[in-house]
Each structure stands twice: as C-alpha cells, then as structure tokens.
Amino acid sequence: MTAPTLDPETSRRAARRADSIEPALKVEGLWKIFGAKADRIIGTPDEHLSRKELQSRTGCLAAVKDVSFEVAQGEVFVVMGLSGSGKSTLVRLLTRLIEPTAGTVRIDGEDVTQAGKAQLRALRRNHMAMVFQQFGLLPHRKVIDNVAYGLEVRGEPKAKRLARAQEMVDLVGLSGYEGSFPDQLSGGMQQRVGLARALAVDPQVLLFDEPFSALDPLIRRDMQNEVCRLHEEVGKTMVFITHDLQEALRLGDRILIMRDGEIVQIGTPAEVVANPADDYVRDFVSDVPRSHVLTLRYVVRPAHDGESLDGPVMQANQIVRDAARQVLASSLPVRVYDDDRFLGVVDDEDILRVVVAEEGA
C-alpha cells in the first residue's frame, strides 16, 4: 500500500479483508440472453441447448450462460476467450451496463443486480471502475479533468478532486501531461489516463475490458508491467478481460476460460496449462512455453528406490524456468516441498522433458 490510495476507507477495508472471508466479487448463475422474451427461456429445457440451436429455434442469442465464480480480495482474475465468447458482455453485466437476464452479482456483499437506480449509481461511483478497450476518454477535457470526472459526478469539491486526480496522474507516470488533451497523447498514454481515471475513485474492484488490445505489442507489454506494478502498489481486486492468452498467463492469479458464453475452465495459469479441461483449452495452450508457466508441482515425481535424497530443497510453487538452472547445476535430484510437506524429487531429465516437449509441440 502506498500513500496515494490510503484513506480511512481503504484501511478499514484492508482490515476487513484480513479477517473476513467475504469474496470481493461473487457471481452466481449469471445469464444474458439477447432477443425477444429472452427471460422465458431460462428454466425451460431450452436453456440447455447450444448457442447455435437456441438461435435457430428461438432467434435469441445466449451471450452468457449460467456463469458462476468468485474473486477473492486483492486477486487478479482474468476472463479469457475468443471474440464472440461473451467475455465483454460478462464484464458489462457486472456493473449492469448490460442488464443481466438472470443471476446475481455481489460486490463486497452488496447485491448489484437488485440495486435500484440510485443505489446502482452509488455502487458505480464508489465501488467499481472500468477501463475500456477504446479508452472512452472525453476529448473536450484535459487529462486532469478526465481523471477527475468520476469524482466530479459524485460531487467532490473541486480542489479535492483535482488534488486526487494529480496524484493519480503521477501514479500512472503521466506527470507533466495533465494539461494536454487526449488527442495529443499516444494510445498507450491515453490508456494510462483511462487507468488513472478508474483508480481516482478508489474502487474496490477494477474492471478491465481488453484494455490493451488497441495498443501495439511493445506498448502492450509496457502497460501489462504497469498493471502488475499498480497491483503491487494499490492491491486492488481486478477483473481483467482479454483474448490474449499470454496476457492472461502473465497477469492472472486465476483464469476463467469462456467459450460460447459458457465457462470451460477456471484455474491458475499452471493448472490450465498442465491440465486443460478439454480439447478447446488444450488447443489454446498448446503454443504456450510450458516451462514459463508450470511450477515444480506439475513436474515432481516420487523418488525412485535408491535415489539420493540429499539434494537441495525447493518450493513447489517455483516456476520451472526459474528453477531450471539450479536443478541442472545440482548433481543430485532436487527435493520439492510444499511448505514442509515433502512432495518428491525433480532431476535434470524431468526439467528437460518440459523444455523439450514444448520444442516438439
């Protein structure tokens, strides 16, 4: 936690985070079906139809089908899928930019789906903030006024909101540009403004809708690092939408993979790569350099009879790539522990199998 975001509210929440097990975001049975009389489909046998069949039979399009998940406080939760998988609809359902057809969304225990107009507005103003693919900046306002907009609509006095906005501009590394207009900035810088705008309202949950897809690859990497840094500094809960698997693996504590509006798999990056739920996910992760994602947990094996158990000790959550040098350097198999529990051993061959397998793939 750094100074800029520490206000009484935040510290109170931080305290609560420590002793409560309330998830930051809880989604249960969320549905979105576009089309006439869409609400009548849920609960009938039709709801089990595939997206294509449903569309040809009723003309309705199921964008999000019965999605449930929880996001823990401070977690970075990535939703990944190809275009048309319903991930952008999903993130909009969370703040009701699109009205859900059925299901509930709770943010810090507050029910978003049941909120009245004013309550929803209050939730949007104080509890969540979103970063958009096309930035969505106000072209007629300077950077500083763009960042202050969220504070302005909730009625904060001018001096206070400008001070806060300036802090955020500094935080995202745009110091000196606060007087510029969005059109005068590069794409990456504009998205930093979008980021600062979202952070300015000090939300519990930050939502990212493919924020870096419109940026070129080098800038994208930069911005991903920026998000990692900000997450370390401000520790916000983040829901991050992307179609880019690399991005998902880089940023996510956990990843939700969607296809045709349904959840295919939820898991940590290593789980997803090591144990794909089906061929769709397997196909997806086939190009991933496994040694960059897998941890020793997925490589470890029981010691053979007579194998030496005097080698160095390593933790199971070490990424294979990071562990490789040490394992290869050691003449004895490395012992792998999950905290104090002995899981097994890893030797040169096990490491090479992970690295070589991906070459062959």
Partner 1 sequence: MSATAVRERPTGPAARPPATTRASRPRISVRRHWRPFLLGAVVVLWLVLWAVLKGTQTLELGGAEKTDFHLWLNSVRDSFDAARSNSAVFEYVVQPLTDGLNGLVAFLQSLFSQPSALRPVPQVGWLGVVVLLAWLAFALAGVRSMLLVGACVLLFGFFGYWQQSIDTLVVTFVAVGLCAILGPPLGIWMARSRRVSAIISPVLDLMQTLPSFAYLAPLALVFGIGPAAAIVTTIIYSLPPLVRITEHGIRNVSPTTLEAVTSMGGTAWQTLTKVQLPMARRTIVVGINQCTMAALSMATIAALINGPGLGQPVLQSLQSLDVGSAFVSGLAIVLMAIMLDRTTTAASERSGIEARVARGTSAGGFRGPRARRVGVIAGAVIAAVAIYLSHNYLALAKFPASPDLGGPLGKAVSAATNWTVGTFSGFTGWLKDTITTLLVNPLESLLAQSPWWVMALVLLGIALALGGRRAAVAAAACEAVILGTGLWNESMKTLATTLVATLLVVVAAVVVGVWMGRSRLADAIIRPVLDAFQTIPSFVYLVPALALFGPTRFTAIVAALAYGVPIATKLVADGIRGVSPTTVEAAESMGTTGWQMVSKVQVPMSRAAVVLAANQGLLYVLSMVVVGGLVGGGGLGYLVVSGFSQGQLFGKGLAAGIAITALGIMLDRITQHAAARLGRA
In angstroms, the CA 313 to CA 246 distance is 30
In angstroms, the CA 279 to CA 90 distance is 23
**Complex with partner 1: residue 87 or 231, whichever CB lies closer:** 87
What is the smallest separation between the CB atom of 100 and partner 1, expressed in angstroms? 13
End-to-end CA distance of the chain: 42
Q: What angle separates helix 187-200 from helix 217-234, to the nearest 10 degrees?
A: 20
Tell me if 109 sits within 8 A of 22, measured CB to CB.
Answer: yes
Q: What angle separates helix 320-329 from helix 348-360, to the nearest 10 degrees?
A: 130
What is the smallest separation between the CB atom of 258 and partner 1, expressed in angstroms? 12
Kindly tell me which residue out of 20, 56, 68, 286 binds partner 1, with binding defined by CB under 8 A: 56
What is the smallest separation between the CB atom of 142 and partner 1, expressed in angstroms? 7
Tell me if 274 sits within 8 A of 294, measured CB to CB.
Answer: yes
Tell me if 336 sits within 8 A of 302, measured CB to CB.
Answer: no
* Amino acid residing at 351: I
Q: What angle do CA 308, 309, 311 make, to 5 degrees?
A: 95
Looking at residues 276 to 315 of the shown chain, list those that interact with partner 1 (rule: CB under 8 A).
none
As to burial, measured by CB atoms within 10 angstroms (0-12 exposed, 13-18 middle, 19+ buried), residue 71 is buried
Q: Under 8 Å CB-to-CB from 231, ≥6 apart: which residues?
A: 76, 238
What is the smallest separation between the CB atom of 310 and partner 1, expressed in angstroms? 54
- CA neighbor of 127 nearest in space, from 230, 18, 274, 236: 236
Looking at residues 65 to 124 of the shown chain, list those that interact with partner 1 (rule: CB under 8 A).
83-84, 86, 88-89, 92, 95, 97-98, 120-124
Q: Does residue 238 bind partner 1 (CB under 8 A)? A: no
What is the smallest separation between the CB atom of 249 and partner 1, expressed in angstroms? 20
Kindly tell me which residue out of 26, 125, 292, 321 binds partner 1, with binding defined by CB under 8 A: 125
Tell me if 321 sits within 8 A of 296, measured CB to CB.
Answer: no
**Complex with partner 1: residue 44 or 50, whichever CB lies closer:** 50
Kindly tell me which residue out of 138, 309, 328, 357 binds partner 1, with binding defined by CB under 8 A: 138
- How many residues in the shown chain lie near partner 1 by CB under 8 A? 56
Kindly tell me which residue out of 45, 139, 302, 360 binds partner 1, with binding defined by CB under 8 A: 139
Q: Is the dihedral of CA 79, 83, 85, 91 positive or negative?
A: positive
What is the smallest separation between the CB atom of 297 and partner 1, expressed in angstroms? 34
What is the smallest separation between the CB atom of 139 and partner 1, expressed in angstroms? 5
Q: Is the dihedral of CA 209, 269, 105, 126 positive or negative?
A: negative
What is the smallest separation between the CB atom of 238 and partner 1, expressed in angstroms? 15
* Amino acid residing at 47: E
**Complex with partner 1: residue 34 or 298, whichever CB lies closer:** 34
Scanning 146-154, 215-223, 270-278, 282-290 for contacts with partner 1 by CB under 8 A, the matching segment is: 146-154
* Amino acid residing at 209: D
Strand partners, 314: 336
* CA 350 to mean position of chain CA atoms: 31
Q: Does residue 160 bind partner 1 (CB under 8 A)? A: no
Kindly tell me which residue out of 128, 273, 288, 293 binds partner 1, with binding defined by CB under 8 A: 128
Looking at residues 204 to 233 of the shown chain, list those that interact with partner 1 (rule: CB under 8 A).
207, 209-210, 213
Kindly tell me which residue out of 69, 77, 135, 212 binds partner 1, with binding defined by CB under 8 A: 135
Residue 353 CB coordination number (10 Å)? 12
Scanning 165-173, 193-201, 272-280, 333-341 for contacts with partner 1 by CB under 8 A, the matching segment is: 193-201
**Complex with partner 1: residue 138 or 309, whichever CB lies closer:** 138
Q: Which parts of this chain interact with partner 1 (CB under 8 A)?
A: 32, 34-35, 52, 55-56, 61, 63, 83-84, 86, 88-89, 92, 95, 97-98, 120-126, 128-130, 132-142, 149-150, 152-154, 179-181, 183-184, 194, 197, 201, 207, 209-210, 213, 243
